[in-house]
Every structure is written in structure tokens, then in C-alpha cells.
A = this chain, B = another copy of it.
Amino acid sequence: MAIEKKGMMFVLSSPSGTGKTTLTKKLAENDKKFAISISHTTRKPRPNEINGKDYHFVSEEKFKNLIEENNFYEHANIFDNYYGTLKNTVNELLSKGKIVLFDIDWQGTQQLAEQSGNDLVRVFILPPSTSELQRRLLSRARDPQTVVAARMAKAMDEISHYPEYDYIIVNQRLDESVAKVQSILTSERLRRTRQIGLTSFVRNLRDWQ
């Protein structure tokens, strides 16, 4: 008899330039139990970005309607663009026992925690050093100076919220960090409260007497 596992909301937050996007992709490609929550956004698609895969790209009017109808678990306005996670999408994945992965910032995490009744696992990824963070933020320097400055300010703001997370990983090496996140996932799936049918499994064991 196999013990089923409940679906789970799993938040990964980190300042821009910590390698989180690569990490998220590595996790999902190694594990069929994952589903990455695809956000809605009003931002214009970048080259290579695919609608329905990277984001659901929608108009501002459509986005505001979704907000009014209370359809989002979380949403935010970042650098004049809206980003948000639809409740329907998430709940459907959870009901299939999936681990739904959220790549959101501290504001989204706070909203999600409130809306979901706090049954989510929050992991924060810190850069290993100032120089590494600096290097990564500046390597995107094709962006206008003002965008770089705003991104730095946002990174510092993001880092200051680490105490709102359950687990902290200092991202020294990407493969090690992937392994650490996988340990957290394995572990959280083994929590008694996330296993379905334990009571009857144990009743069967004891009935043998």
C-alpha cells in the first residue's frame, strides 16, 4: 500500500541575480512532481518568451478585472508592470498532488501566506557574497542605468525580508543549492501532515494482532 502525498505550495524567493531562475528550471526538469506556477503579467514579452509558458501575457484592463474579481492569490506592481498568480490554476495543480513552485518576491509571499492559510513552504536564497551579487547585477548592464539602480534597490529590499522565510540557502554552488532545495522538498513531503491515508495504513498494521 502506497501512501499518497498532498500537494504543496513551495515559494523560492531571492534578490535578482542569485541564479534562482536557473535553479527553478533545474528543479522542475529533475522531478515530474513539480509544476511551476505560471504568472499573469502586463509586461511586454521579451524575445524568446512564450505566452502560456513563461507568462500569461495580458492587457492591463484584463489584469485589473482579474484583481477586482478576487482571482489572484497574489499580485504586485513591479517597475510599472503587474504580475500575479491565479487561484484557479494553483488549486487545480494542488488537487493533483503537485508541488507548485512559486518564483515570487517577499510581497507576493506575504499575500500568498495570508490567502493560502499559511500551508506553504518558504525558501529564501541568499547570494554568497557582496561581490558576487554586484557582479551578477552589473552583468545585466545592457539595461538603462536607472533600471540597474532600481534593480539594486529592489535586491537590497528583498534581502531585508529573509526573516519571513522558513529555510535559508546561501547559494555557493548551483548544484549544491539544487540538492539542498530537493532535500527540503523530500523532507516536507515526509511530514506527517502531508501524507494521506496514514491512519488506515496504521490501523491495518495493528489489526494483525
User: Residues on A close to B: CB < 8 A?
Assistant: 1, 3, 124, 126-127, 129-130, 133-134, 152, 156, 159-160, 162-163, 165-170, 180, 182-184, 186-188, 190-192, 195, 198, 201-202, 204-209
Measured between alpha carbons, how far is A130 from B200 in the docked complex, in Å?
Answer: 13
Determine the chain B residues whose CB is within 8 A of the CB of A201 once the complex forms.
Answer: 126, 170
The answer to whether residues A184 and B180 also contact, given A202-B162, A205-B133 and a CB cut-off of 8 A, is no
Question: Which residues of B are found within 8 Å of A184, using beta-carbon distances?
Answer: 183, 186-187, 190
Chain B, Cβ-Cβ closest to A15: B205
The docked-state distance in angstroms from the alpha carbon of A165 to that of B192 is 7
A130 to chain B, nearest CB (A): 4
A209 lies within 8 A of B156 (CB):
yes
Closest to A207 in B: B130
Chain B residues within an 8 Å CB radius of A124: 192
Whole-angstrom distance between the alpha carbons of A171 and B133 in the complex? 43
- Chain B hits for A163, CB < 8 A: 192
A167–B183 CB distance below 8 A: no
CA separation between A133 and B126, bound complex, in Å?
45
CA distance A166 to B192 in the complex (A): 6
A166 and B162 CA atoms in complex are apart in Å by: 24
B206 and A190 contact, CB distance less than 8 A:
no
In Å, the complex CA distance between A190 and B177 comes to 11
Q: How far is the CB of A10 from chain B (nearest CB, A)?
A: 12
Chain A to chain B: the 5 pairs with minimum beta-carbon distance, closest first:
A187-B187, A183-B186, A130-B208, A183-B183, A184-B187
